[in-house]
């Protein structure tokens, strides 16, 4: 799912929940990161629901973990070059 300007907070939360087990999966990590960025952008600084409170600080650590994983996962391309052994 790709979030856009027509997306709702509920859709972003659902996307994050669908990708909670992102560890080791680049696609899920990208989707979770997108959802958290959207949530951080559109929700107020503090949100209470069902007697639980979420703050932006709570999201920052998870966003940083996701960014680090996506950065490593996106840049880990291997290239092999055929070579000849040299005898010194």
Instruction: Read off the pLDDT of residues 13-70 as tens digits, 9 standing for 90 and up.
Output: 899 999 999 898 999 999 999 999 998 888 765 555 655 665 656 788 889 999 999 9
Question: Which segment, 55-59, 72-76, 84-88, is predicted with the most confidence on average?
Answer: 72-76
Question: In total, how many domains does the chain have?
Answer: 1
Residue 79 has pLDDT above 80, yes or no: no
pLDDT at residue number 49: 60
Residue 68, domain member (yes or no): yes
pLDDT at residue number 35: 93
Instruction: Count each helix (H run) and each strand (E run) in the chain, helices first.
Output: 3, 2
pLDDT at residue number 28: 94
Residue 62, domain member (yes or no): yes
* Cβ atoms within 10 Å of 60's Cβ, excluding its own: 12
Residue 15, domain member (yes or no): yes
Reported confidence tier of residue 73, pLDDT bands at 50, 70, 90: confident
Which residue range forms the structural domain that includes residue 18?
9-75
Q: How far apart are CA 44 and CA 25, in angstroms?
A: 30
Q: What is the pTM of this model?
A: 0.68
């Amino acid at each position: 799912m790709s979030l856009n300007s027509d997306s709702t907070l509920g859709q972003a939360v659902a996307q994050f929940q669908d990708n909670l087990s992102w560890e080791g999966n680049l696609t899920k990590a990208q989707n979770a990161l997108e959802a958290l960025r959207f949530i951080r952008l559109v929700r107020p600084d503090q949100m209470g629901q069902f007697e639980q409170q979420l703050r932006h600080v709570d999201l920052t650590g998870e966003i940083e973990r996701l960014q680090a994983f996506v950065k490593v996962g996106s840049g880990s391309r291997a290239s092999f070059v055929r070579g000849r052994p040299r005898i010194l």
